[in-house]
Structure 1
Amino acid sequence: MTDYDYEELGLVAGLEIHQQLDTEAKLFCGCPTELREPEEAERRFTRYLHPTKSELGEIDDAALEESQVDREFEYLAYDTTCLVEEDDEPPHRLDEEALEVSLEIAQLLDMTPIDQAHVMRKIVVDGSNTSGFQRTTKLAADGEISTEEGPVGIEDLMLEEESAQRVEETDDGVRFSLDRLGIPLVEIGTKPDIRTPQQARDAAERIGMLLRSTGQVKRGLGTIRQDVNISIAEGARVELKGVQSLDDIDDIVRNEAQRQVELLEIKDELEARDASVGDVQDVTDVFADTDSGVIRGALDSGGKVTAVPLYGFDGLVGTEIQPDRRLGTEFSDHAKRHGAGGIFHTDELPAYGVTEEEVAALRDAVGAGDEDAVAIVAADAEVAENAIEAAAERAETALEGVPEETRGANEDGTSEYLRPLPGAARMYPETDVPPVDPDIEAVEEPELLTEKVERYQEEYDLGAGLAEQVAYGRRMVLFEDLVGQGIDATLAAQTLESTLTALRRDDVPVENLTDAHLRGAIVLVDDGEVPNEGMEDLLTALAETPDLTAEEAVEAEDLGGVDESEVREAVVEVVERNDDQVAEEGMGAFSGLMGECMGALRGKADGDLVSELLREEIQKRA
């Protein structure tokens, strides 16, 4: 991967962190915030969405482009889905719990709440919201966090509703699930103070730690997303959406910086060649007898082949601008937005069944010479026309350098075109929800996770590693509840971290364990109803049969403790069975016999008691 002197490059970046809150209810209705399986859906309905004008009579460019793709949106509804989620009833008041958690986050970011918060509508017509817009409200501004490379300002904190979950593409459009729609979400936007890829990662990690310090944010894949705004000198602002992992942020920034550098170099070369983009043409006749599977399939189904000559582009369409992505890939991204599978271009042909003779005929048909390139699309007639026009428009912007746009982050650290950058025309007031007066003074500032680690060591005598695992772990709130009710801290911490980790490695489905399961199991062990050695068996039983309570699992698996007389009886039986070994080795036989005793008792006895009684019996016979 190419690395640069980012100061010399003029890198400027900012983050937008989107974090789901772990509240009881959704932001504008009382429905639960738990995710469901699509198979649980009880009904479904469809919508077609169209952009609306702002208060000034303008239509947002991003919404307009999205609406040009004719798609049906299907929604999966559940037994918990309400009329607000379906957009058949006005939204309720802003959820108080979500507001309180958001103000806690504002405190941790050293932000100033605004005097009065008004809910706004943000136009979104990609199907991710049944209403065609997302509700959002600005709560605080002007904060700051620290990183090793200097402070990063926090521009604003927004409280908004999460979008519907995309389930799959359908023949007619996209299917969404309504279980996620409306979950409270905070959006934290930094100022453009970030100057290196590492600082972007450090800032995201710092904000993530502050968010988790509240104990009221959801955890797991998809619950936090990072968007990154990036530009370099002479480049353009590009918004990269949907970075799922902190580990990807620095790679995303590096790759986008590389993309912009490469695009600027291509622009300079195109200028030197006096390059231009020609008119779109129908070249179906060139491929009338083609053996190319893609083109043949399009023609046999009544489609056609369209082309655009790219004068002076020869060798540049195939130039790599990101790992495994080329300028031609950028053209293809735009074509795909209109339903095409992609484009072919002469920098990669002959290939894909297209012959050298067909390439020559194609060049002749559009008037392209040796220094020129040609891009083609084979698809349904309307799709082919719209897709090649989109590719041609992207080729035009290559002459200008780096286009401002919104891109989607890929898992490999690269990105692909999504839509134009949104503008102010996408926002207008939400008249169905009254404004709120944020009162940050009424909210107690949460303890930082770094502070929790120190406190757990001092107050509960946990080791540094275990204290950090618990504080940063997904069960931190449960741990604090347990120790708050007098449960042994070491027992709670080791169960929630070490024991669950060991069971996960043994392929026990620990994801089925709820807080109620864990609380019940830990309380039973702490009370002496189940020995420490029975914890793994108990949690395994609960994970494999999650409809049981801890008490029911103890009874079903016969995991209850045994009294001392039963333990002694089992120990004596093991020792007598191995009498010759005991006579010969004495206490040297202890280790092997201890394992045999614990196996005979099936984890129903405390290990310290078994050890004590076994030593007694061996000493009697030694």
Structure 2
Amino acid sequence: MSEFDYESLGLVAGLEIHQQLDTAEKLFCGCPTTRREPEEAVRSFTRYLHPTKSELGEMDEAALEESQVEREFEYLAFDSTCLVEEDDEPPHRLDEEALDTALEISQLLDATVVDEAHVMRKVVIDGSNTSGFQRSTLLSQEGEIETSEGAVGIEDVMLEEESAQRVEETDSGVRYGLDRLGIPLVEIGTKPDIRSPEQAREAAERIGMLLRSTGKVKRGLGTIRQDVNVSIADGARVEMKGVQSLDDIEDLVRLEVKRQVRLLDIAESLQSRDASVGDVQNVTDTFETTDSSVIRGALDAGGRVFAVPLYGFDGLVGRELQPDRRLGTEFSDHAKRHGAGGIFHTDELPAYGVTDEEVAALRETVDAGPEDAVAIVAADADVAEGAIEAVAERARVAIEGVPEETRGANEGGTTEYLRPLPGAARMYPETDVPPVSPDPSEVEPPELLTEKVERYTDDYGLNEDVAEQVAYGRRWRLFEEAVEMGVDANLAARTLESTVTKLRRDDVPTDHLTAEHFRGTFELVVADELTQEGVPELLAALAESPDSDPAELADELGLGSVGEEEVRETIVEIVERNEAQIEEQGMGAFSALMGECMGALRGKADGELVSDVLREEVQKRA
């Protein structure tokens, strides 16, 4: 049973699904979309980014706040990095392969394609793009998907360039890799039609299935991201970014509702107390002889301690909003955005080496009474003052209720503050890329994965679980090729899914296996030059020696298929060697002897043939 009545609370939610496309080239240049390791970088360069005004002369609030944190951005360049990726050359025309795939996706979503698609610039100055903006193109609108709780509208489908991959934080800023920058990406935004955490997950699963149905999207960690927008009737729209797993969506929606309900309760209490936020003050002298390691460390490094009195806030700064997150944690998030390590507040003091006497002195210094709270920041002078000002501003908003903002998803379904919600001022036209007139009639919508599962069960006799495993997997095309070649459907499915999974669990480097390895293996099976029992051993060997030819490696390993006469000779030899056991156990000895026979033949013979011949020979002697 849910903790909340979502209908009475007026829950409204929507999704933004970001999916990388599996194209040969990037969206605005001819560079490959292959991911690289940071160690493969051949050089690097640095940039400082600053916000710019829109064509209407407006400044985006989110970009403005980001610019207040001075950071250096370092970019790792690879042997494939081009001038477009470095922002030293204008972008090329929109990639046609990416455009066609996005049109397929639009059709699957029943979205209406625009007559003319224009590329826009979206201001992004967190360093994730060398240019300071992301290029984005509205491709289609007004689609719809079905869920068990009703239809969910599709607001729009955008074709965008992926951002650079954050590699690590540095002392001076952030280091990014340029291998990901520019990979084609579709962004699918739903309308705010979602009314429960369960429906949010179901809608995301449905969209994910449609995307994978194209067979033209990248797979693996980080290739698809879900952003979730949530609000309740008396709350505010909050965008939660970076959701990696569908399993997290329900928790994120449920816990965001909880956070907004708690914030509204706190605001009601603050308003009833006539709460207010005082002026920021330098309280360094109060902690001149402190034994608190955090404050002492800041002071010894030449730092300062700044405080803000929160009148009427006593007991509320420590109020829990989400598991392990309190109103004070929200304040701390804002302080951290300005370079501080966090905050202390009187709802949790004395603690962390701060004494009762220091708390009393702090309250007296800022004129805080027993119903008031005080928050402090200890850091470099400029950092501490800016951070405590940010805390004061967040406290003022707490009196009003729930702020609109963008938040980052954490493990467990909690979130943390990232920045204000972006506005329309962050978008302006891209003048270097000409518009295109997309024609959806030039592409055919693909077979849905759900339809593929049904076809595999009906046409190939696979059970539903195996059919779903193959259809939703990455090698369904190889499966269909194998069946077309004459390979038994169940053997093909087992080889491409369960056999590979078992080999991976045995620490075989299955990521080295290519489509050509599988095709060559299946060709040997069809030609009766390799038994199904020999398939796992050959694939394991190919994974360890990926440059080898399947047929040559099978011969080298002695995995060639043998005839019935040789099979019988081997089995008779084993049976005669174990006649005493057969006389004693009769057919009870069959199982042990079967294992010995298969081991002796080492995958050279079909298991069914070995079983039939062994049973016959044992029965002669039992």
TM range (shorter): over 0.9
C-alpha distance after superposition, 1:599-621 (max 9, x if no partner): 12222322123223323433454
Q: CA deviation at 1:85?
A: 1.4
Matches of 1:376 and 1:302 in 2, distance apart? 17
Alpha carbons 2:281, 2:307 under 8 Å: kept? yes
Structure 1 window deviating more from structure 2 (498-507 vs 527-536): it is 498-507
Task: Give the corresponding residue for 1:207.
Answer: 207
- 3-state SS in 2 of match to 1:417: strand
Q: 1:21 to 1:486 in 2, by over 3 A?
A: farther
1:156-555 map, 5 Å: 156-551=156-551, 553-555=553-555
What amino acid maps onto 1:263 in structure 2?
Answer: L
What amino acid maps onto 1:222 in structure 2?
Answer: G
Matches of 1:547 and 1:199 in 2, distance apart? 47
Task: Give the corresponding residue for 2:149.
Answer: 149
Q: Normalising to structure 2: TM-score of the pair? A: 0.97
Matches of 2:342 and 2:568 in 1, distance apart? 76
Aligned residues: 622
Q: CA deviation at 1:332?
A: 0.4
Alpha carbons 2:112, 2:143 under 8 Å: kept? yes
C-alpha distance after superposition, 1:313-354 (max 9, x if no partner): 000000001111100000000000111111111100111111
Matches of 2:515 and 2:294 in 1, distance apart? 53
Matches of 1:552 and 1:353 in 2, distance apart? 71
Matches of 1:182 and 1:280 in 2, distance apart? 44
Matches of 1:75 and 1:455 in 2, distance apart? 47
Q: CA deviation at 1:586?
A: 3.8
Task: Give the corresponding residue for 2:595.
Answer: 595
C-alpha distance after superposition, 1:158-188 (max 9, x if no partner): 0001111111111111111111111111101
Alpha carbons 2:407, 2:415 under 8 Å: kept? yes
- 3-state SS in 1 of match to 2:585: helix
What amino acid maps onto 1:493 in structure 2?
Answer: A
Matches of 1:316 and 1:302 in 2, distance apart? 32
Q: 1:513 to 1:616 in 2, by over 3 A?
A: same
Structure 1 window deviating more from structure 2 (78-87 vs 377-386): it is 78-87
C-alpha distance after superposition, 1:373-404 (max 9, x if no partner): 11111111111111111111111111111111
Task: Give the corresponding residue for 1:114.
Answer: 114
- 3-state SS in 2 of match to 1:421: coil
Q: CA deviation at 1:528?
A: 2.5
What amino acid maps onto 2:539 in structure 1?
Answer: L
1:57-68 map, 5 Å: 57-68=57-68
Matches of 2:198 and 2:60 in 1, distance apart? 34
- 3-state SS in 2 of match to 1:613: helix
Q: 1:379 to 1:521 in 2, by over 3 A?
A: farther
What amino acid maps onto 1:433 in structure 2?
Answer: V
Matches of 1:182 and 1:400 in 2, distance apart? 41
What amino acid maps onto 1:228 in structure 2?
Answer: V
Matches of 1:444 and 1:486 in 2, distance apart? 28
C-alpha distance after superposition, 1:176-222 (max 9, x if no partner): 11111111111011111111111111111111111111111111111
Matches of 1:533 and 1:372 in 2, distance apart? 76
Q: 1:519 to 1:283 in 2, by over 3 A?
A: farther
Structure 1 window deviating more from structure 2 (595-604 vs 251-260): it is 595-604
- 3-state SS in 1 of match to 2:428: strand
Q: Normalising to structure 1: TM-score of the pair? A: 0.97
What amino acid maps onto 1:245 in structure 2?
Answer: S
1:66-145 map, 5 Å: 66-145=66-145
- 3-state SS in 1 of match to 2:230: strand
C-alpha distance after superposition, 1:523-582 (max 9, x if no partner): 333333322111222222233344444345435544333444543343233223212223
Q: CA deviation at 1:43?
A: 1.6
What amino acid maps onto 1:141 in structure 2?
Answer: Q
- 3-state SS in 2 of match to 1:163: coil
What amino acid maps onto 2:130 in structure 1?
Answer: T
Alpha carbons 1:532, 1:606 under 8 Å: kept? yes
Structure 1 window deviating more from structure 2 (240-249 vs 484-493): it is 484-493
Alpha carbons 2:51, 2:123 under 8 Å: kept? yes
C-alpha distance after superposition, 1:446-497 (max 9, x if no partner): 1111111111111111111111111112222332343344443222211112
What amino acid maps onto 2:320 in structure 1?
Answer: E
Q: CA deviation at 1:146?
A: 1.0
Alpha carbons 1:491, 1:526 under 8 Å: kept? no
Alpha carbons 1:405, 1:419 under 8 Å: kept? yes
Matches of 1:528 and 1:174 in 2, distance apart? 57
Q: 1:64 to 1:557 in 2, by over 3 A?
A: farther
C-alpha distance after superposition, 1:56-102 (max 9, x if no partner): 11121111111111111111122222221121221111111111111
C-alpha distance after superposition, 1:270-303 (max 9, x if no partner): 1111111111111111111111111111111111
What amino acid maps onto 2:275 in structure 1?
Answer: A
Alpha carbons 1:118, 1:138 under 8 Å: kept? yes
Q: CA deviation at 1:116?
A: 0.5
Alpha carbons 1:215, 1:476 under 8 Å: kept? no
- 3-state SS in 1 of match to 2:400: coil
Matches of 1:286 and 1:523 in 2, distance apart? 81
Matches of 2:306 and 2:201 in 1, distance apart? 44
What amino acid maps onto 1:165 in structure 2?
Answer: Q
What amino acid maps onto 2:164 in structure 1?
Answer: A
Query: Is residue 568 of structure 2 the alignment partner of residue 568 of structure 1?
Result: yes
Structure 1 window deviating more from structure 2 (77-86 vs 332-341): it is 77-86
What amino acid maps onto 1:211 in structure 2?
Answer: L
Matches of 2:289 and 2:514 in 1, distance apart? 63
Alpha carbons 1:2, 1:258 under 8 Å: kept? no
C-alpha distance after superposition, 1:230-279 (max 9, x if no partner): 11112111111111111111111111111111111111111111111111
Q: CA deviation at 1:150?
A: 1.1
CA RMSD, 1 decimal: 1.7
Task: Give the corresponding residue for 1:608.
Answer: 608
Q: CA deviation at 1:30?
A: 1.8
Alpha carbons 2:406, 2:417 under 8 Å: kept? yes
Q: 1:478 to 1:468 in 2, by over 3 A?
A: same
Matches of 1:116 and 1:567 in 2, distance apart? 69
What amino acid maps onto 1:476 in structure 2?
Answer: W
Task: Give the corresponding residue for 1:559.
Answer: 559
- 3-state SS in 2 of match to 1:15: strand
Matches of 2:494 and 2:378 in 1, distance apart? 60
The answer for unaligned runs of 5 or more in structure 1 is: none
- 3-state SS in 2 of match to 1:129: coil
Q: 1:517 to 1:293 in 2, by over 3 A?
A: farther
Q: 1:166 to 1:112 in 2, by over 3 A?
A: same
Q: 1:32 to 1:485 in 2, by over 3 A?
A: farther
